[in-house]
Chain A
Amino acid sequence: MANRIHKLTIPSSTRYLEDVRQFVEIHAEKARLPEDSVQQLKMAVDEACANVIEHAYSGNTDQPIDIAVIVKPDRFTVRIRDEGVGFNPDAYQEPDLARIARSRRAGGLGVHIMHRLMDQVEYRQRGRTNECCLTKYRR
């Protein structure tokens, strides 16, 4: 199977998250990934884009988020690029659910979900561009 790449650009608004999930679902199904992997990819990409909107772009709704699906013989990767404030992966700690509930503060679960659902989560910075790559390997 030759490598294939499919691209989508959305404005940094949560109203487009459903479009992102559909985009990932279509290409993951075309790549014949198992149903559970399709669902996990949709969710991990949704979380990554929601984090870009909330944290990288601080809620500004008119900034670009570039999404690319990269299909390789042994893996399915979704690359998310933005030009907002970068995420420091070293700051990530596995959340304590009871502590989050006690703090009465929604949030803090998205990165955890990405790590739990994906085989590989990578962060890179290329000049002003932040890049997050979410990968599922074919079993």
Chain B
Amino acid sequence: MSSFSVGFRSVGSVQVLDLRGELDAHTAAELEAAIEKCQQDECVQILVNGANLMYISSAGLGVFMAHIEEIREKGGDIKIAALQPKVYNVFDLLGFPMLFDITESEDEAVTKFQSPAPSA
């Protein structure tokens, strides 16, 4: 069975989700539940730390796609940080950097939440 878990941490007002293991069609429901919990807790600054994410399929990517617009409408964002190169390549292949804010480090993403760039 696929091994996947989501850990919860807070950095100031930012909710950090630590993803670990392999995110596929079997385990995507866990990420879905984690993002829904953030929304129930009225947290719209969500930082996904992918340092320990070993694999992602379209089912996992689809969870981000399904929530990003609603969270942005509430003034928040889902930022994705610290992806391993082989996982980042999947995001890049599909053009996700155009749609999501993907940073090299968690610190960089936290800083962006704390001092967002002015909109054009």
Contact = CB atoms under 8 A, between A and B. Distances in A.
A109 B58 contact: yes
B13 to A, nearest CB: 24
Interface residues of A, number: 31
Interface in B87-115: 89-90, 93-96, 98-99
B26 A18 contact: yes
Given A101-B69, A104-B69, A18 B94 contact: no
B62 A109 contact: yes
Interface in B22-79: 22, 24-26, 28, 55, 57-59, 61-63, 65-70
B24 A18 contact: yes
Contacts of B25: 14, 17, 46, 50, 53-54
A47 B59 CA distance: 9
Given A14-B26, A113-B58, A104 B70 contact: yes
Contacts of A110: 57-59
Q: Which 4 A-B pairs have the closest CB atoms?
A: A106-B62, A14-B26, A109-B58, A106-B66
Interface of A: 13-15, 17-18, 21, 36, 39, 42-43, 46-47, 50, 53-54, 97-98, 100-102, 104-110, 112-113, 116-117
